[in-house]
């Protein structure tokens, strides 16, 4: 366990650095959108493109990984909505389901799992990112609109989700990387070096930015939120989600489905990650309770230092 903590500590330490820098005013809040833009539009897409291009196309189209992860995502979303909708309404229940299901794969999972397991982990990681960004997010946004007056609420939400997906550079970088892998393309030397430099910056800047975003959400939130509205969701993300993936993956292998042990371990560890920080931006955009979601993200990220490290120690 101690050796695992030595590996995971730097990642969470960078998150803590971003949090403290923002909380103490060393990093102005006005600078955070710039950090987000750099990670979202430059560094992370370059990292995902390189991983996609260097990963065999068969791993990027792994039906078993897709089936196991997608089934678990559907169960998590459905269970969370059913258990919380009557008390919170469709909007907050849907975004609570999203934050309970969507791990922080891009900003935290990619660099951490590559450090732990090597570049071969990129295939399942990219598959799960595509599912969460395209399917899980779109479904939860559509569910959140069911409170809206008028029968067209969900349809409008789906169109908005589709527009957001199209404008998000990460799915495009994944698709281009997969195309490069399938066709055996490689970038010209100087361009490849530029992309590699941007990709190398993704991990530290993304982790620092997570901390900055979490600090900003706490500093700007003046809403009182009952612990029962965010602590159970954070614990569900860190405990229920990975246990569900472990159970479904184990059952799939017991039934003879060709889900490899390595892919199984990666899926469980991805599910054990804390909640994705970008969900708080979606809650603000669609008018849900952003303070509640911010607290879920903060609690899950804080507790994940121990819970994720324990998952790594158990699975590897």
Q: How confident is the model at residue 156 (pLDDT cuts 50, 70, 90)?
A: low
Can you tell me the mean pLDDT for 249-275? 93
- Answer yes or no: is pLDDT of 155 > 90: no
Q: How confident is the model at residue 151 (pLDDT cuts 50, 70, 90)?
A: very low
| Alpha carbon distance 187, 50 (integer Å) | 10
Can you tell me the mean pLDDT for 199-216? 86
Query: Where does 2-315 sit in CATH, by number?
Result: 1.20.1530.20
Domain boundaries, the chain: 2-315
**H or E element: which one contains 112?**
helix 110-117
Q: What is the pLDDT of residue 213?
A: 82
> The tokens of 190 are what?
């100087």
Q: Which residue has the higher pLDDT, 37 or 268?
A: 268
Burial classification of residue 168, based on how many CB atoms lie within 10 Å of its CB (0-12 exposed, 13-18 middle, 19 or more buried): middle
Cα-trace Rg, the chain: 19
| Alpha carbon distance 283, 159 (integer Å) | 17
In sequence order, the 6+-apart residues with CB closer than 8 A to the CB of 310 are 1
Can you tell me the mean pLDDT for 106-114? 81
């Amino acid at each position: 366990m101690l050796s695992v903590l030595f590996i995971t500590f730097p990642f969470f330490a960078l998150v803590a650095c971003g949090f403290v820098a923002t909380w103490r005013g060393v990093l102005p809040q006005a600078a955070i959108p710039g950090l987000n833009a750099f990670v979202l539009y430059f560094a992370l897409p370059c990292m995902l493109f390189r991983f996609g291009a260097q990963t065999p196309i068969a791993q990027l189209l792994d039906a078993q990984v897709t089936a196991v992860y997608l089934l678990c995502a559907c169960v998590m979303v459905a269970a969370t909505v059913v258990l919380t909708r009557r008390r919170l309404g469709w909007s907050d229940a849907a975004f609570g389901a999203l934050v309970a299901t969507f791990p922080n794969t891009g900003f935290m999972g990619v660099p951490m799992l590559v450090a732990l397991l090597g570049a071969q982990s990129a295939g399942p990681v990219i598959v799960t990112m595509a599912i969460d960004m395209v399917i899980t997010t779109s479904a939860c946004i559509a569910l959140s609109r069911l409170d809206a007056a008028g029968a067209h609420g969900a349809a409008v939400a789906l169109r908005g989700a589709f527009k957001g997906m199209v404008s998000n550079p990460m799915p495009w970088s994944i698709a281009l990387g997969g195309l490069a892998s399938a066709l055996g393309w490689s970038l010209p030397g100087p361009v490849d070096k530029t992309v590699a430099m941007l990709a190398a910056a993704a991990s530290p800047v993304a982790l620092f930015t997570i901390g900055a975003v979490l600090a900003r959400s706490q500093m700007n939130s003046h809403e009182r939120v009952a612990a029962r509205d965010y602590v159970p969701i954070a614990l569900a993300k860190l405990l229920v989600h990975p246990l569900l993936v472990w159970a479904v993956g184990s059952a799939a292998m017991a039934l003879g489905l060709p889900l490899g042990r390595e892919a199984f371990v990666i899926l469980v560890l991805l599910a054990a990650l804390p909640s994705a920080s970008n969900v708080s931006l979606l809650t603000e955009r669609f008018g849900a309770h952003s303070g509640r979601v911010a607290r879920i993200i903060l609690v899950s990220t804080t507790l994940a230092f121990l819970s994720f490290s324990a998952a790594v120690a158990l699975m590897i």
